[in-house]
A and B are shown apart, each in its own frame.
Chain A
Amino acid sequence: MSNTMNTSSTAGFISARRLLFWSGIVALCAWVLVPIYLVALGALGGRTGAYQWPKNFLPTDISLQPFLLFLRTEGVFQSFLNSLGAAGITVALSIALGAPAGYALARYNFRGKDSYRLLVLLTRAFPLAILALPLTVSYIRLGLYDTVLGVGLIHTVLALPFAALVTQGIFLGVPRELEEAAWVFGCTRIQAFFKVVAPLALPGLVATAVFAFVISWNEVFAASVLTVRHRTLTAYLLTVLSESPMHYRFAGGLMLILPSVVFIFAVRRYLFAIWGVSSK
């Protein structure tokens, strides 16, 4: 008798747990997806869809037409490419410079290591607004003003401290013994890095790259200040959207969101530690 009661209450406990688990998942997904969905509805619904109230939650009245129209608007596609270019430069440079710095922080002991770590973060302590004017003047002198490369360089400065500190943690997660084993079995330091450390750090490095991409993609201030004709998408949208109809704004928002989502989705498997070597 008591036995059956026990099993039924255990089953109740388990089903309650499962309910909690799934409702948590649904809530989290809704938190992220519902706004994106609403933005998409507005972007694809055209003028009527954007102003319609109450909202029609089902995608009945939509077509790609309004969005394509928005894309064909002068400057949109070019600024989209500019954004991709700046983000690409940011990702390449912050990994190329940040990962070696992170490796050095993880593996070597040198004088001033802690102050170096602090210094790296301090580069973020100066508000960009203060730096904007001198930066603009220097950029004009260097011929970097109003170029994608110029914006990419500034975004690299923003992303680099995080790249260095995050990759430090990643390299610390790769056991030193594995690297030593590689040395003993015939690798130089550089070979050991590429044959053993890099493959194991890859998921983390990809995550760092995604992070750098998102920093650049979302940055608007520096991009607005340092460009006039070659604007990135954020800077471009900021200047034109206030004068645009509502569904154009939604289309712009969707265009800002989509690449990040697609990018993260594409590399999602690297975001989990695939070799079972995470943060040991």
Chain B
Amino acid sequence: MANIVIENIKKSFGAFQALKGVSLTINDGEFVSLLGPSGCGKTTLLRIIAGLETSTSGDVLIGEKSVIGLPPKDRGLAMVFQNYAVFPHMTVYENVAFGLRMQKADDARVKKQVEKAAGLLHIEPYLDRYPNKLSGGQRQRVAVARALAVEPGVLLMDEPLSNLDALLRLEMRTELKTVLQEAGTTTIYVTHDQTEAMGLSDRIAVVHDGRIEQVGTPVEVYNHPATRFVGGFIGNPPMNFITMPVTNGQVAAGSQQFAVPAQGGEIVLGLRGETVERAQSGQGLDMQVRVAEPMGSHLLLTGSIFGQPARVILPATETVKNGATVGLTLDPKRLTWLSPESGVSYPAAA
């Protein structure tokens, strides 16, 4: 077990800056996701931590010790690759045992560790098989078992579920969470899938354009995004951003008045679609509904508020016709206010 400190890591590929100074501290035993769209630099950061890529500048400490310049094998970590990277010329048993064999562990310990890891991932029936006889999900389990068998201080996972089909992904996600909780390993998990990050992580680091935009628990990141990007990237439907006029530090939304951290001009309201309620007729913030989609579990409304595109969610029991105007009551505790110039949110009101 080990903590990880990442200090001002920069990485350039020629003129392209993949990482523009990233700092992050991950506590011992913590599960942190690096979440971001493809090309944001999250995989590069993971590979720098693993030692598969060199950083242009900055430092990485694993267990208080700088690992910059050390080869991957001397960093005390294990990794699960996106394409599994299970060795095709070895049986499942030898795959799982690979790291232990490299550590020159004796046969008894290898056997014990392999059986333990195989048990956790339910791959005991396949130990004698070669990987080409396994399905994608089974190979994924082998890759995770191989990583856990060495009892690493740090476990790195690079989009480990992205090659599985949707149903299997859901199943593996739940299972990963159970297994990793049991193992208690410090884990960095790279993904572009927000539901994976939300479901698995203790904390999420949202990466965008070579920078970390926000670090926080899934609920913090969801409810109070630090920037417009974070709010738009996390959540389905994404957060609505509505620019509203401010008069004397107040914003009027239908019959509701909100004190905002600006005196005049404009402010952007960050509104989660499912935090609204339908208002009494003639009250509330007006929304012009273009399309109403009954989804079974809820009713999804697409239209505009203040002339700006918006999506909100109402309970499935409501009925709204296409083209109608509905009034919405907002929950003052669940609103985010953002600066229209910088797109950065104001601290949540006390």
Contacts and interface: CB of A to CB of B under 8 A. Distances in A.
A177 B73 CA distance: 15
A184 B72 contact: yes
Contacts of B83: 175, 177
B66 interface: no
A184 B102 contact: no
Contact of B81 (A181, A186, A196): A181
Given A175-B85, A182-B98, A184-B72, 9 more contacts: A178-B87, A183-B51, A184-B73, A184-B77, A184-B79, A185-B73, A185-B98, A185-B102, A275-B130
Interface in A242-280: 275-277
A180 interface: yes
Contact of A188 (B73, B82, B146): B73
Contact of A185 (B78, B82, B88, B132): B78
B247 interface: no
Contacts of B50: 180, 184
Interface of A: 175, 177-178, 180-188, 191, 196, 199-200, 275-277
Given A184-B72, A185-B102, A277 B88 contact: yes
Contacts of B150: 185-186
Given A275-B132, A276-B132, A183 B73 contact: yes
Given A186-B102, A275-B132, A178 B85 contact: yes
A186 B73 contact: yes
Contacts, number: 64
B210 interface: no
B134 to A, nearest CB: 11
A180 B81 CA distance: 9
B51 to A, nearest CB: 8
Interface of B: 50-52, 71-73, 77-79, 81-83, 85, 87-89, 98-99, 102-103, 130, 132, 146, 150
Given A175-B85, A199-B89, A183 B132 contact: no
Contacts of B73: 183-188
A213 B98 CA distance: 36
B99 A200 contact: no
A183 B53 CA distance: 12
A63 to B, nearest CB: 47
A186 B150 CA distance: 10
10 smallest beta-carbon distances between A and B, as pairs: A186-B102, A185-B99, A181-B85, A177-B85, A183-B72, A276-B132, A184-B79, A275-B88, A186-B73, A199-B89
A180 B88 contact: no
A27 B149 CA distance: 54
A181 B150 CA distance: 13
A183 B132 CA distance: 22
B330 to A, nearest CB: 48
A220 B78 CA distance: 55
